Amino acid sequence: MGWHVINVTPGFEQKIKNTIELQANPIYVKIIIPTKKRKGFYKSKMYYYLEKMFPGYLFIECTDADEFQIFSIASGISGILNMHGIIGKHRIQYPIEEEEMLHVLNLMDENRDNIKVNTGTTFDQHQKIKIVDGPFSNFTAIVESVFTSGSGEKKLKVRTNLFHNDLISLVLSEFQVEKIE
């Protein structure tokens, strides 16, 4: 068994994955599109979505005996730009190193559960907090006030030190911060 990388047209990863799986039906093949869990906000509502870690790439695991069949199926699908190891017209499908693939799989596992939900956490005025999401991620701040927005979401007005004692105020969602113990 070995892992191979196929470069595809970005945005068509899922469609190409489904096509390969459909055409290679009796053959064992495992195809993954590495994703990580992200959170976003729309109209003051928080939601989670999956973001592709490597847009435009598929990772395929198959046996050495089935490699030729899988790559001949893949070469006939439009939207496939390149296959790992192709040199000119000679198709040489070298599998990627096992350590590299383990690193990719570990990244997927780490990102699956790395979002902490702070619901029910109370924040006090003058409390020191750490910003965990957004452009000021990893900054420490002091809570100036806590209030509820029109949509019912808890918001915090915080003050942080930007550069050389330049204090700025930010309004953040409770999901963007965590308490410092």
Once rounded to an integer, what is the mean pLDDT over residues 144-173?
Answer: 82
pLDDT in tens, 112-127: 554 444 445 678 888 9
- Domain ranges, ordered by start, for the chain: 2-112, 128-179
**Per-residue pLDDT, 109:** 66
pLDDT confidence band for 158 (50 / 70 / 90): very high
**Per-residue pLDDT, 116:** 44
In CATH terms, the superfamily for domain 2-112 is NusG, N-terminal domain (3.30.70.940)
pLDDT confidence band for 60 (50 / 70 / 90): confident
Once rounded to an integer, what is the mean pLDDT over residues 95-109?
Answer: 80
- Give the per-residue SS3 of 4-67: EEEEECCCCHHHHHHHHHHHCCCCCEEEECCEEEEEEEECCEEEEEEEECCCCEEEEEECCCCH
Once rounded to an integer, what is the mean pLDDT over residues 41-69?
Answer: 81
Q: What is the pTM of this model?
A: 0.54
Half-sphere exposure (CA, 13 Å, Cβ side) for 156?
A: 27
